[in-house]
Amino acid sequence: MAKEKFERTKPHVNIGTIGHVDHGKTTLTAAITMTLAEAGGATAKAYDEIDGAPEEKARGITISTAHVEYETENRHYAHVDCPGHADYVKNMITGAAQ
């Protein structure tokens, strides 16, 4: 069976949440998906689904990046929720700039 050809009908926007540790980056990401899920533009993701690794749950912090997709009436979004530790942020900014 052949794959269907993917056709993008909306402009694509990349979003990243970065900031200090415990300043609500993952909480914001979860809130966006919950809000847009009510409008049918996303699959709701709870905080613990985004920070799903056992180490993240045990320590209460984000260790790895999480990728979430959602859309509004006019755009499609790819959202990267980044860890807040200085080394992670530095590496993420360096990688994004390349």
Instruction: Establish if 4 belongs to a structural domain.
Output: no
pLDDT of residue 32: 93
- 76 burial class (0-12, 13-18, 19+ CB within 10 angstroms)? middle
Determine whether 5 is an active site residue: no
Determine whether 94 is an active site residue: no
* Number of compact structural domains in the chain: 1
Query: Over pLDDT 90: what percentage of the chain?
Result: 26
Sign of the CA dihedral with 29 first, then 35, 40, and 46 last: positive
Catalytic residue among 17, 26, 29, 62: 26
Instruction: Establish if 31 belongs to a structural domain.
Output: yes
Is the model's pLDDT at 33 over the cut of 70?
A: yes
Of the pLDDT bands very low, low, confident and very high (cuts 50, 70, 90), residue 1 is low
Instruction: Establish if 74 belongs to a structural domain.
Output: yes
Average pLDDT over residues 45-58: 71
- CA–CA distance, 15 with 58 (Å, rounded to integer): 27
Determine whether 87 is an active site residue: no
pTM assigned to the model: 0.71
User: Does residue 5 or residue 12 have the better pLDDT?
Assistant: 12
pLDDT of residue 56: 59
pLDDT of residue 18: 83
- CATH number of the domain where residue 30 is located: 3.40.50.300
Is the model's pLDDT at 82 over the cut of 60?
A: yes
Domain that residue 56 falls in: 13-97
